[in-house]
Every structure is written in structure tokens, then in C-alpha cells.
Amino acid sequence: MKRVLSLCLAVLLGLVCFGAYSREEMPVGSVGTGIAVGTSAIPPKVLHKIRITAGEDVVYGVLYDTPCGRGISQQLPITKEIMPPADFAKAFVLDERIESDEELTNVYVPGGLAYWPTGNAVAIFHAPERDMTDVPIIHFGKIDEGEEIFAEYDGEITIERYDKLETEE
């Protein structure tokens, strides 16, 4: 009995010690196939910074140096009306499809930016309402902070490369 109790305690301690991650480090895997970029404990390489303007509000983030991140970067600046496909995200359809064989996942984190290949759409996740998305996505970036502005915002947004703007100003 002591042995079982000790084992249970060790497992619980391991979960407590290794299970407490910040939003940036959250190790969540894709459904059935491993860990998707943007959701692992190992942060992906950053391609460049971005600025997202939504009405009077501005948030900053990064695009990952991945095929999908580079595909989004090639389309910047992007100005689109966003729509609410779900209670935890806003989305818009891209003008050009992104070709990528990156791993798909149904896991998301608030502040995450993801591409839905089937719908050729981008999602901005703003709330932790669900455990996972209904459709498979590819993570390509994240918002540093302030993603909650998208919960109530409906309108036009502009996503633009920010590190390029800093050198031009």
C-alpha cells in the first residue's frame, strides 16, 4: 500500500512540477500526431514582428519562421473584415492560398494565429472557451498580449510587418 501511495504521490508531484506552464510554453500536442508548431514548450523561431490594428486598438505579435508563417508574410500587409466563426476566435479568408505540408492540429492557445488550409482562412484565437478547434489548423504566429480585444471587435483589421516599419520610421 505504501508503495502504491508513494508512486501516486510521485506522479502527482511530477504533474505539479512539470505541468505548470505559461501561455507561451504550453506543451499541447496535435490530435494524434505529436506536437504542433506554436503549441510546444520549445518556442519556434521568429520570422519577424507584426502589428495588428483593429479600429482604435493595436496589438503586437510575431510570425514564426515556418512555411505557413512565410506564406502569410508574403501577403502582408493584409486588411480584411473579420468574422466570428466561433466564440473563441475571429477569422478572415485570405486572397491567396498557402501551400504547406506542416502538421495539422486541433489544439489552440489564446493569442495564437493559425491557418485553416481547407477554408483558406486565418484565425485569431482570443479566448480559452474550448479544449480544441472543430477544424484542423496550422499555427503560424502569436499575439504577445491583448488578444481579448477581438472578443467584442467586429470590423476591419490590418496585419502588417512591424520590424520593417520600425526601420522606415
Helix (H) or strand (E) holding 89: strand 89-93
Compute CA 31 distance to the chain's CA centroid, rounded to the nearest angstrom: 16
Whether a cis peptide bond, with omega within 30° of 0, leads into 77 is yes
Does residue 41 contact residue 114 with C-beta atoms inside 8 Å? Answer: no
Give which of 166, 159, 121 is closest to 143, Cα–Cα: 159
Kindly compute the dihedral angle of the four CA atoms of residues 23, 51, 103, 35, in this order, to the nearest 10 degrees.
-20
Does residue 138 contact residue 103 with C-beta atoms inside 8 Å? Answer: yes
- Count the alpha carbons within 13 Å of 116 in the hemisphere toward its beta carbon: 20
Reported confidence tier of residue 41, pLDDT bands at 50, 70, 90:
low
Task: State the first-to-last Cα distance of the chain, in angstroms, to the nearest integer.
Answer: 69
- Mean pLDDT of the region 130-153: 95
Helix (H) or strand (E) holding 121: strand 121-125
Task: For residue 169, give the C-alpha cell.
Answer: 520610421
Alpha-carbon span 55 to 31, nearest angstrom: 35
Q: Which one of 2.60.40.1930, 3.90.930.60, 2.40.100.20, 3.30.1360.200 gives the CATH number of domain 22-168?
A: 2.40.100.20
Looking only at the bridges linking them, the beta strands covering 156-161 and 78-81 are antiparallel
Q: What is the mean pLDDT of the chain?
A: 80
Reported confidence tier of residue 35, pLDDT bands at 50, 70, 90:
very low
- Mean pLDDT of the region 104-128: 96
| Amino acid (1-letter code) at residue 133 | T
* 47-96 tens-digit pLDDT: 999 999 999 999 999 999 999 999 999 999 999 999 999 999 999 999 99
Residue 131: per-residue pLDDT: 85
